[in-house]
């Protein structure tokens, strides 16, 4: 049962997609959310890098295929949208993912019960609990599932009839990014609120400017090149200039490190500019280069070297 629950959480959370921030799914998120994110898996899957990732995943593994056959749930084909959120408070590990797709509720519930798992049906929807009861997946209906820590999932079920009102700044940015990017994230967390205090960082870099960040966001578009865009909003244009200078300094220091040739290659196309109180960052990485730098590629290369030495 533990393996089933872990697999179901993973495939839901990593395979989700969102082409535009779904208002109903947003309404299920906790009202105190300060981090939102999503992914358009249809676009990613059809891209060269998406095809590469599929060859690295467990999707052709016999155990995964057995899972699909037993539950009637294939994450590669059955999931269409996801919205995920977390309060982002230090020490608070709560989080939530609302997933739109196709779920054979009766078949999934039956499978969980045959594996000795716990299914709580007192919440108005089958609630599949992890062995320690800390995590849960609610199968709301044949088109919607909610996953996360148990308290957050139960609270989300209660919001079906009374959607939460999220921070308008989060929603506005999420809506824009989810239309233009295949993967995106936005947060209103200030670095100081999560323990990053003003002072000196590595190599004596002054980090005090980070305290002026009001909002951060990023989007990734997959294609023959993987295009990354990010935006950091400061409280004033002057502080935005300071943050941009700090970021350029950090990048330059990383590029000068003799052990960071990969970083230098990755950041060749990096552009940093300011627009009022916003810092805009863009980066384009050739897809084949990203494959070469992936952990999976390094594992394969390491195995080949080890075999060659025998």
Residues 206-224: tens digit of each pLDDT: 667 788 899 999 999 988 8
Residues 75 and 11 grouped into a single domain = yes
- Position 303 scores a pLDDT of 42
Residues 14 and 143 grouped into a single domain = yes
148-154 average pLDDT score: 96
User: In this structure, is residue 241 part of a structural domain?
Assistant: yes
The count of structural domains within the chain is 2
Residues 225 and 111 grouped into a single domain = no
Q: What is the DSSP string of 107-139?
A: HHHHHHHHTT-EEE-TTSS-EEEPTTSSEEEEE
What domain range is 135 assigned to? 2-158
Number of other residues whose CB lies within 10 A of the CB of residue 242 = 19
- Position 278 scores a pLDDT of 96
CB 150 within 8 A of CB 137: no
- Domain boundary pick from 104, 134, 158: 158
Residues 145 and 260 grouped into a single domain = no
Q: pLDDT (tens digit, 9 = 90+) per residue, 62-116? A: 888 888 899 999 887 888 888 899 998 878 889 999 998 899 999 999 999 998 9
Q: What residues contact 246, with CB distance under 8 A and at least 6 apart?
A: 205, 206, 207, 209, 210
Mean pLDDT of the chain: 82
Predicted TM-score of the model (pTM): 0.79
Residues 36 and 153 grouped into a single domain = yes
236-264 average pLDDT score: 83
In the chain, pLDDT over 70 holds for what percent of residues?
Answer: 81
Residues 211 and 69 grouped into a single domain = no
User: In this structure, is residue 185 part of a structural domain?
Assistant: no
- Position 96 scores a pLDDT of 96
Number of other residues whose CB lies within 10 A of the CB of residue 244 = 20
Residues 18 and 144 grouped into a single domain = yes
Token readout for 291 is 């494959």
131-148 average pLDDT score: 95
User: In this structure, is residue 71 part of a structural domain?
Assistant: yes
- Domain boundary pick from 158, 174, 209: 158
- Position 125 scores a pLDDT of 95
Given pLDDT bands bounded at 50, 70 and 90, which one contains residue 234? very high
User: In this structure, is residue 16 part of a structural domain?
Assistant: yes
- Position 256 scores a pLDDT of 79
- Position 4 scores a pLDDT of 43
Pairing mode of beta strands 127-129, 135-141: antiparallel
28-49 average pLDDT score: 87
264-276 average pLDDT score: 87
User: In this structure, is residue 178 part of a structural domain?
Assistant: no
**DSSP helix/strand/coil, 143:** coil
Residues 6 and 104 grouped into a single domain = yes
225-246 average pLDDT score: 93
Distances (CA, A) of 40 to 22, 182, 250, 305: 12, 5, 31, 36
User: In this structure, is residue 306 part of a structural domain?
Assistant: no
Residues 16 and 132 grouped into a single domain = yes
Residues 11 and 153 grouped into a single domain = yes
Residues 271 and 265: their CA atoms lie apart, in Å, by: 14
Instruction: Tell me phi and psi for residue 101, to 5 degrees.
Output: 180, -150
User: In this structure, is residue 282 part of a structural domain?
Assistant: yes
Given pLDDT bands bounded at 50, 70 and 90, which one contains residue 197? low
Q: What residues contact 295, with CB distance under 8 A and at least 6 apart?
A: none
User: In this structure, is residue 131 part of a structural domain?
Assistant: yes
In the chain, pLDDT over 90 holds for what percent of residues?
Answer: 45
Residues 152 and 247 grouped into a single domain = no
Residues 55 and 203 grouped into a single domain = no
């Amino acid at each position: 049962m533990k393996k089933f629950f872990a697999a179901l959480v993973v495939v839901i959370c990593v395979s989700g997609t969102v082409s535009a921030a779904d208002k109903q799914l947003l309404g299920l998120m906790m009202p105190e959310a300060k981090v939102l994110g999503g992914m358009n898996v249809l676009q990613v899957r059809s891209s060269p890098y998406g095809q590469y990732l599929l060859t690295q995943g467990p999707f052709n593994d016999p155990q995964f295929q057995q899972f699909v056959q037993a539950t009637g749930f294939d994450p590669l084909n059955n999931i269409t949208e996801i919205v995920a959120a977390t309060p982002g408070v230090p020490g608070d590990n709560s989080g939530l993912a609302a997933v739109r797709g196709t779920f054979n509720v009766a078949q999934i519930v039956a499978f969980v019960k045959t594996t000795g798992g716990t299914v709580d049906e007192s919440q108005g929807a089958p609630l599949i609990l992890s062995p320690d009861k800390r995590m849960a997946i609610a199968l709301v209906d044949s088109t919607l599932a909610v996953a996360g820590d148990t308290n957050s999932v139960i609270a989300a079920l209660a919001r079906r009839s009374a959607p939460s009102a999220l921070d308008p700044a989060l929603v506005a940015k999420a809506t824009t990014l989810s239309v233009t990017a295949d993967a995106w994230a936005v947060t209103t967390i200030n670095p100081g609120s999560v323990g990053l205090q003003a002072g000196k960082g590595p190599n004596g870099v002054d980090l005090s400017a980070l305290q002026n960040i009001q909002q951060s966001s990023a989007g990734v578009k997959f294609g023959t090149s993987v295009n990354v865009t990010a935006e950091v909003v400061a409280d004033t244009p002057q502080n935005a200039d300071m943050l941009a200078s700090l970021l350029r300094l950090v990048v330059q220091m990383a590029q000068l490190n003799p052990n960071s040739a990969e970083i230098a290659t990755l950041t060749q196309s990096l552009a940093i500019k300011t627009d009022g109180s916003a810092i805009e960052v863009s980066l384009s990485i050739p897809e084949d280069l990203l494959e070469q730098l992936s952990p999976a590629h390094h594992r394969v290369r390491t195995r080949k070297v080890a075999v060659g030495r025998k």
